[in-house]
């Protein structure tokens, strides 16, 4: 990598970055460091959007974007990189176009791929810093471990509903002291299903804007050495009551990556580590077409919706509402003498409900509605439009 002192700016660039350069603590040198830097942003969704926009605007010389996803209508509530015209396109391509339009003086590299144990080290190796804006536990641990193995700082942020978290992991300060990483903070992931995700629990659209902007700010501090990065500290923000708290975190002797007796020396299977590979026992299913046939024929059955009350209020198909967390307590409301069709949004929660009732209470008359209410509504719409 060329030394940042060799970095030159055109007149146009100097004008563009003027408001940085005139900050006494920042100056031309920090701007040179930004232009010399390579930052990999993993995930270009809610958090990645503000991170990418601000890093591009700030003049980070090389920005890599990893995302395998396509832009969906439901992204636009918070993923401000994208507009209606991007729906259906690869996120990395839509992001590249937006960022190149914002700043033509930087290089954007895109990786339209799923980051995994096979490619993570190669993806991250050429970069100076990583910003983790991913959306699931296996990838959080994967990115953390890859950064620790490669010695790269990992600027971390995460969001749920109204709450956000930020920290800078694996950061070596000017004195050569290494800060904690994600495994020091959270040694093990929660078992699947115990912690709800944003897809189930939702997220306030502006929250990733707030938290992602902080993440971008920390990336800039890590690269330029200006200020004190959020290393060894863990910041949380609750938008609901506007409370912020910053905790102290430390490296742990028992960290399996870089504690006293490291046991993880290469990337592992993170879905296995997070308990995602447990093969779930299949449950009996019925399709929307079969359900409608039952209704038409007047067959006797009970229909139960295990979503949350607010989801039920927004749209329902006349089922009885028994949210997933309460099904065992309300097992008495499930019929035993007729077939019971259980549904949720897409079929995941209702399958969980059925397994729980079968395992704990011996039910054998429960049927999962394949594709959930989404499939039902889609089928009905098709019927109407035909």
Partner 1 sequence: MATVIIPTPLRKFTNNTAKLDIAAGTVEEALLDLSANYPDLKKHLFDEGGHIRTFLNIFIGEDDIRDLQAGKTPLHDNTVVSIVPAIAGGSTDGYH
Binding residues for partner 1, rule: CB under 8 A, are 43, 45-47, 68-69, 114-116, 133-140, 158-163, 165, 185-190, 192, 194-201, 203, 234, 236, 238, 240-241, 245-250, 252, 270-271, 274, 276, 325, 348
Least distance between partner 1 and beta carbon 272 (Å): 10
Least distance between partner 1 and beta carbon 198 (Å): 4
Least distance between partner 1 and beta carbon 256 (Å): 13
Q: Which tokens is 274 given?
A: 């997070």
- Judged by beta carbon, residue 94 or residue 340, the one nearer partner 1 is 94
- Judged by beta carbon, residue 9 or residue 160, the one nearer partner 1 is 160
Instruction: Find how far residue 196's CA is from the centre of its chain.
Output: 12
Alpha-helical runs (H) found in 262-385 = 270-273, 288-297, 309-314, 348-361, 372-385
Least distance between partner 1 and beta carbon 103 (Å): 27
344 is catalytic: yes
Q: Give how far Cα 263 sits from Cα of 77, 145, 255, 275, Å.
A: 42, 12, 9, 19
147 is catalytic: no
List the one residue out of 322, 335, 160, 132 whose CA is nearest residue 239. Answer: 160
Judge residue 316's burial from the number of C-beta atoms within 10 Å of its C-beta, 0-12 exposed, 13-18 middle, 19 or more buried: middle
Least distance between partner 1 and beta carbon 108 (Å): 23
Q: Are strands 366-369 and 339-343 parallel, antiparallel or unpaired?
A: parallel
How far from each other are the two terminal CA atoms of the chain, in whole angstroms?
61
- Judged by beta carbon, residue 303 or residue 353, the one nearer partner 1 is 353
- Judged by beta carbon, residue 35 or residue 349, the one nearer partner 1 is 349
Give the C-alpha separation, 47 to 216, whole Å. 9
Give the C-alpha separation, 27 to 128, whole Å. 21
Q: Report yes or no: 28 and 224 within 8 Å, Cβ to Cβ.
A: no
Judge residue 159's burial from the number of C-beta atoms within 10 Å of its C-beta, 0-12 exposed, 13-18 middle, 19 or more buried: buried
Give the C-alpha separation, 183 to 141, whole Å. 8
- Judged by beta carbon, residue 37 or residue 249, the one nearer partner 1 is 249
- Judged by beta carbon, residue 144 or residue 224, the one nearer partner 1 is 144
Least distance between partner 1 and beta carbon 139 (Å): 6
213: number of Cβ within 10 Å: 16
Q: Report yes or no: 352 and 372 within 8 Å, Cβ to Cβ.
A: no
Query: Tokens 């046991």 belong to which residue?
Result: 263
Q: Are strands 62-66 and 38-42 parallel, antiparallel or unpaired?
A: parallel
Least distance between partner 1 and beta carbon 190 (Å): 4
Identify the active-site residue in 207, 344, 353, 375.
344
Instruction: Find how far residue 124's CA is from the centre of its chain.
Output: 18
Identify the active-site residue in 80, 149, 198, 230.
198
- Judged by beta carbon, residue 54 or residue 182, the one nearer partner 1 is 182
List residues with catalytic annotation. Answer: 198, 344
């Amino acid at each position: 990598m060329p030394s940042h002192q060799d970095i030159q700016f055109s007149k146009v660039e100097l004008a563009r970055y003027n408001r940085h350069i005139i900050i006494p603590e920042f100056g031309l040198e920090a701007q040179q460091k930004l232009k010399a830097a390579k930052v990999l942003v993993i995930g270009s969704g809610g958090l990645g959007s503000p991170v990418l926009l601000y890093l591009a605007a700030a003049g980070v010389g090389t920005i890599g974007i990893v995302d395998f996803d396509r832009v969906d209508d439901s992204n636009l509530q918070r993923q401000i990189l994208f507009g209606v015209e991007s729906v259906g396109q690869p996120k990395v391509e839509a992001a590249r176009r937006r960022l190149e339009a914002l700043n033509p003086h930087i290089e954007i590299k895109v990786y339209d791929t799923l980051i995994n144990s096979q490619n993570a080290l190669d993806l991250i190796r050429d970069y100076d810093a990583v910003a983790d804006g991913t959306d699931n536990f296996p990838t959080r641990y994967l990115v953390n471990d890859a950064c620790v193995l490669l010695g790269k700082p990992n600027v971390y942020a995460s969001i749920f509903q109204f709450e956000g978290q930020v920290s800078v992991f694996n950061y070596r300060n000017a004195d050569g002291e290494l800060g904690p990483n994600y495994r020091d903070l959270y040694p093990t992931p929660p078992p699947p299903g115990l912690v709800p995700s944003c897809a189930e629990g939702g997220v306030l659209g502006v929250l990733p804007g707030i938290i992602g902007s902080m993440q971008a700010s920390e990336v800039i501090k890590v690269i330029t050495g200006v200020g004190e990065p959020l290393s060894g500290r863990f910041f949380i923000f609750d938008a609901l009551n506007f409370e912020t708290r910053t905790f102290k975190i430390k490296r742990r002797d028992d960290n399996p990556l870089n504690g006293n007796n490291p046991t993880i020396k290469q990337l592992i299977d993170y879905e296995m580590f997070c308990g995602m590979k447990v093969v779930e026992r299949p449950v009996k299913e019925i399709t929307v077409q079969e359900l409608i046939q039952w209704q038409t024929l007047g067959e006797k059955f009970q229909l139960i919706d295990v979503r949350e009350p607010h989801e039920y209020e927004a749209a329902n198909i006349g089922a009885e509402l028994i949210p997933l967390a309460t099904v065992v307590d309300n097992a008495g409301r499930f019929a035993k003498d007729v077939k019971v069709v259980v549904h949720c949004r897409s079929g995941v929660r209702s399958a969980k409900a059925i397994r729980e009732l079968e395992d704990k209470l011996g039910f054998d008359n429960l049927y999962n509605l394949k594709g959930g209410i989404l499939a039902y509504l889609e089928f009905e719409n098709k019927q109407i439009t035909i």
